[in-house]
Chain A
Amino acid sequence: MPQEIDVSLVHVTKKFGDLVAVDDVSFEVPKGSFFSILGPSGSGKTTVLRMIAGFETPTSGDIYIGGERVNDVPPNKRRCNMVFQRLALFPMMDVLGNVTFGLRRRGGMSKAEMERLARKALERVGLQGLGRRKINQISGGQQQRVALARSLVLDPTVLLLDEPLGSLDLKLRQDMKLELKHLQARMGTTFVYITHDQTIALAMSDTIAVINRGKIEQIASPEELYRRPATHFVASFVGENNKLEGGRLVRMRDAQVCEVDFGGILMSGRMGEPLSPGDTVDLFIRPEMISLRPGRHENGFPGKIEEINFDGSHSLIVVNLLEGRAPITINVKLQHTEQAPEVAAGDLVTLSWRWDAANAFRSPTGKEA
């Protein structure tokens, strides 16, 4: 059975004068999914969202919502609603006034019916009984929920979220993150969420599109994105990584695995993109995928612990590799489990990792270390 698609962008480009903000972007958002667009500030993600909402018109390409081409449909006629970055709640109305605003515009409904729907929406986001409060009388977290209720009450095909959690403090953000995910699962509404915060994107999304300089770098599930980044940018942007720069690709073991020479040390890794011998490559290794054994061992890379940074559930251990012509520093994330080895600064250790914990990409600078 083919999946139903709620939003699709087909070769969409947006220029502001000479500046190409969005460059030939295409993607599809399946019905009922939580879709995130992840990118650094200035990557064009906001422009993509604003084009879906209808506040910007694509320079070329088409946008479809619920199968209908909406390029020429104004924002007030599109069946998608937006939760704004700074929420944009109307201070001249109370909470209920905000939530019924869209229903009142739509008309054809009694006042009592509108209020019933609005109260139901407020209940759904856990704000029952606050309908008569002024916007400046409720907390930041409650404001987030009002903004959600205000859009959800209209039962949109797609809900667009412009990084609304960004303004909250860390603890509240963690709570809201889970709540938002549960709400989405419960309602089955398609969410398109843009953010520069990869922890939020990884935790909430079914699918993530990573965007950089107006171009889509990769569209994948969070796990795929994390384990098998498709580009150099994704590898450095998503999650923590050790980035070993300027190695020379010596040979390919098979279609997937290559061996890279870093000043005399040979490391193997997954090829993130097609590479050939002689290429200058950077190798990305996840700190938590590295195993650390005290003492010197046959398989693996010998090193000396430079410093240990305690961080509660784990420690970040900085290790200098012993062999090789140039100094190489690798961070290792060590979980504090019962089996975790006891180590101290200055200890000799051996590091090892599976080949697929390391991803190799062509170095953008091309300079060998």
Chain B
Amino acid sequence: MFAASNSQKSLSRWLFYAYILLILVFTLGPLVIVTILAFNNNPSASFPWQGFTLDWFKSSTPDRVGLFDDARMMAAVVSSVKVAVAVTLISVILGVNNAFLFVREKFVGKEFLYMLMLGPLVVPGVVLGTSILAFSHGIANALDSALGNGAGTFLRPGFWLVVLGQVSFVATTTTLVITARLKRFDLSLEEAAMDLGATRSAAVLHVTLRFLGPAIFGAAIIAFLFSFENFNTTYFLSGPDPTVPIILYSRLRFGISPEINAVSVLMMVTTGLLGLAASAFQKEEGLA
């Protein structure tokens, strides 16, 4: 394809391979090194290699706390999972609802609402976090003074505020994924179901929602990942029960311990697997 004699051709081909190799070293190299260090029996979290150990995962000696024996870290994992499950549920339900709204319905200002809906993806997470914080702060104060102290507590930094804050942008992503599939749904299938005696809601339930199944599954994985990994927005809204990224960040600002390598490996494996599942699903989608 490239205009060159044979020898030049193979030379440029080798240059291309070298370039791709360089890119791969750049993208994967750091991840590989962190993984190796997570099993290195060296408390400085660096080289040289001092032998294989699992201490950074499981150990409770005074000078070596493995991540599974780190109570604060484990508590953060639990609260991360709680948040992620809640965010996933709400965002997927919103995503299905929005997909039907934008694909099936006609109403004034639809285009405008759609553009508005893309907003949370464009606005920097820090701005999104602060604006939700400021807004909820005002509402919580109003609730407190109207209904007595404590009425607005759920809108103070903490579990529910983190969930709401993450839903604000995760729901946009789930909407995009589910909308893309609903657009390809052949409406005559629903009509055929009704022609065969199904009620409208039964047709939607048994035919349309089943068709959306893979997209809903994919959207759920993506929502879980986005929630589990989010830092920017969560940082402002998080309360006494921080999520894993928040704990990690605060520890990283003070220094590096080998335990963080272990946490990284664990997160890479989980999110990597979930991510692969999501991309595999998306690829299937692309072919369908």
Residues of A within 8 A of B (CB): 54-55, 57, 72, 74-77
Contact = CB atoms under 8 A, between A and B. Distances in A.
A57 B4 CA distance: 11
Nearest to B7: A72
For chain A, what secondary structure do more than half of its interface residues adopt (helix, strand, loop), or is it mixed?
A: loop
A57 B8 CA distance: 14
11 contacts: A54-B3, A55-B1, A57-B6, A72-B5, A72-B6, A74-B3, A74-B4, A74-B5, A75-B3, A76-B3, A77-B3
A269 to B, nearest CB: 49
Interface of B: 1, 3-6
Contacts of B4: 74
Given A57-B6, A72-B6, 9 more contacts: A54-B3, A55-B1, A72-B5, A74-B3, A74-B4, A74-B5, A75-B3, A76-B3, A77-B3
A76 B5 CA distance: 12
Nearest to A72: B5
A56 to B, nearest CB: 10
Contacts of B3: 54, 74-77
Nearest to A78: B3
Nearest to A76: B3
A57 B1 CA distance: 11
For chain B, what secondary structure do more than half of its interface residues adopt (helix, strand, loop), or is it mixed?
A: loop
A77 B4 CA distance: 10
Top 6 nearest A-B pairs by Cβ distance? A74-B3, A76-B3, A72-B5, A75-B3, A74-B4, A57-B6
Nearest to B6: A57
Nearest to A55: B1
Nearest to B3: A74
B13 to A, nearest CB: 14
A54 B3 CA distance: 9
Nearest to B4: A74
A54 B6 CA distance: 12
Nearest to B5: A72
Contacts of A55: 1
A57 B6 CA distance: 9
A72 B4 CA distance: 8
A46 to B, nearest CB: 15
A77 B8 CA distance: 15
A77 B5 CA distance: 11
Contacts of A54: 3
B273 to A, nearest CB: 36
A77 B3 CA distance: 9
Nearest to A77: B3
B261 to A, nearest CB: 46
A76 B4 CA distance: 9
Contacts of A75: 3
A55 B6 CA distance: 12
Q: Identify the interface centre among B1, B3, B4: most chain A CB within 10 Å of its CB.
A: B3
Contacts of A74: 3-5
Nearest to B1: A55
A97 B65 CA distance: 69
A74 B2 CA distance: 8
A48 B3 CA distance: 18
A263 B170 CA distance: 81
A178 B93 CA distance: 63
B210 to A, nearest CB: 39
A181 B6 CA distance: 37
A55 B2 CA distance: 8
Contacts of B1: 55
B266 to A, nearest CB: 45
B279 to A, nearest CB: 30
B2 to A, nearest CB: 8
A151 B170 CA distance: 53
Contacts of A57: 6
Contacts of A77: 3
Nearest to B8: A74
A74 B7 CA distance: 12
Contacts of B5: 72, 74
A54 B4 CA distance: 10
A21 B4 CA distance: 22
A75 B4 CA distance: 9
A340 B118 CA distance: 76
A14 to B, nearest CB: 14
